[in-house]
Amino acid sequence: MRSPPTRPMVFNSLSFLVFLAISLGVHYLPLSWRARKVNLLVASSLFYAAWNPLFLPLLWYAITLDWFLAKALHAARTQARRKVLLGVSLVSNLGLLAFFKYGPFLSDNTNALFQALGVPLQVPRIDVVLPVAISFYTFESLAYTLDVYRGQEKPWRSFLDFSLFLTFFPHLVAGPIVRPHDFLPQCIEPRRATPPQLLWGLLLLVLGVFQKTVLADALLAPLVDLVFTPGAKPTTWEAWSAALAFSGQIFCDFAGYSLCAIGVALCFGFHLPDNFQSPYASVGFSDFWRRWHISLSGWLRDYLYIPLGGNRHGPMRTHVNLMLTMLLGGLWHGASWTFVVWGGLHGLFLVAERLLRPWLESLRWTRGPAGRFAAVAVTFVCVCFAWVFFRAQDFGTAFTVVKAMVGASSAGATRLLSRLDMLLAVLTVGLLLGVQWRYRDEPLPRIFESVPWWASAGAVTAMLVALATATGVDRAFIYFQF
């Protein structure tokens, strides 16, 4: 699968700032609410077309298909017809996702299987460009159709509102994955940000871009790249430093994007759901998935894990459902067996946690501060270990890093990172962990309110200065590839 084309409309680009200023200017003109929604719809379509205009019809196909299918589902009089209509939505949406995202993966693995079995067949390789955002808007569109099928929602009255729901540019490319009931009711009444909301939205944008550009790209990514380059032979300390650095990089990258999306949406008066809540301060793996990529984990829970049976049919079935959900969640992230292994590891972590919980809860010390700290430490170390398979380009690289992490460095290991590099990784991620532990259950607005105004102003000024002076490779947000 070929990489997406150039990325002219990223939150940390000058072109996006110009685009945002123009869109906000039109949004705050004395126009009718319908006219302002049309402006947002046009702006969102232009935003998507700036990535690759050839894929805009694909987005609009998904919008139109599920709009009419949901209406037909609601009007259907027989369960058989409802199932057929739901099947059309599932096959169409998931079929397009499978073709574009998993076509090369499936064709390559099919040919490898034929070769291993000695079958003289060769499937033509599917080589296509992955449409930006297809994983995200597919899940959002399916959520709408599934909610109507279940009777949890009625078809929305306005096609304009529904189109805006799926195309709204702040969350379009990399989430959060927004549910219909979270967004569509906001389209009823005119929305404009109050001055405090506008200021807070811009502050979230600055914080998100700072996390992405300064912390993820300038500080941590170069260290990660050196160790995870295919053929590199890291030492034990270098492997752990790189795993720590990647845990910080992917959090700052993706949480930074989510903050940008939430902040930009708030500038227009819309509220998007939080996507992260101190995930590295999680007490256990189920807690981790309540705090990491919240919109995806919630989607997988409600539309996959619970329909599979959840925890309603005994321990064995529960464990199978957990594994299936996490394996498919791993595959959602990318068409590679390394992502499947990453998801499988988290499935094993969740199963082990369920099996060990009764015994652990029977130990008195686990209920105190020491037990809580141990749970956070074990969870974070295991999450870091699993990140190796998420980051590595292939199993060879992943196993080289894993071997080094357990003290079995490859022969001929050479120094890849200086002591200063490793210290930088430890200090940066250590500071990140400390902040998340300190403010584990505090929403971001309350954190800002808890410190003096001059401290907040100083922090924002420092972030702006760091953004102005940051140097490094211009990197796309990691989750754009998903």
What type of residue sits at position 200? W
Q: Residue 253 and residue 211: Cα distance in Å, rounded? A: 6
The neighbouring-strand residues paired with 129 are: 2
| CB-CB contact of 255 with 444 (8 Å) | no
Alpha helices in 363-412 (DSSP H): 369-391, 395-405
What is the rounded CA–CA span in Å between residue 104 and residue 223? Answer: 30
Whole-Å CA distances, 208 to 155, 212, 213: 35, 6, 9
How is residue 19 written in tokens?
């685009």
333 is catalytic: yes
Dihedral sign, Cα of residue 125, residue 131, residue 133, residue 138: negative
Integer Cα distance of 203 and 413 in angstroms: 44
* 3 state SS of 349: helix
Number of residues written out for the chain: 482
- The torsion angles phi and psi of 129, rounded to 5 degrees, stand at -80, 135
First to last CA, the chain: 12
Closest among 279, 289, 287, 285 to 250, alpha carbons compared: 279
HSE-CB for 119 with a 13 A CA cutoff? 10
Among the listed residues 27, 319, 333, 346, the single catalytic one is 333
Is the CB of residue 317 less than 8 Å from the CB of residue 309?
yes
Kindly provide the residue ranges of all beta strands, DSSP E only, lying in 63-172, ordered along the sequence.
none
Name the nearest CA neighbour of 248 among 7, 435, 455, 39. Answer: 435
The span from the CA of 35 to the CA of 33, in Å, is: 5
* C-beta of residue 159 within 8 angstroms of C-beta of residue 31: no
Q: Which positions are catalytic?
A: 333
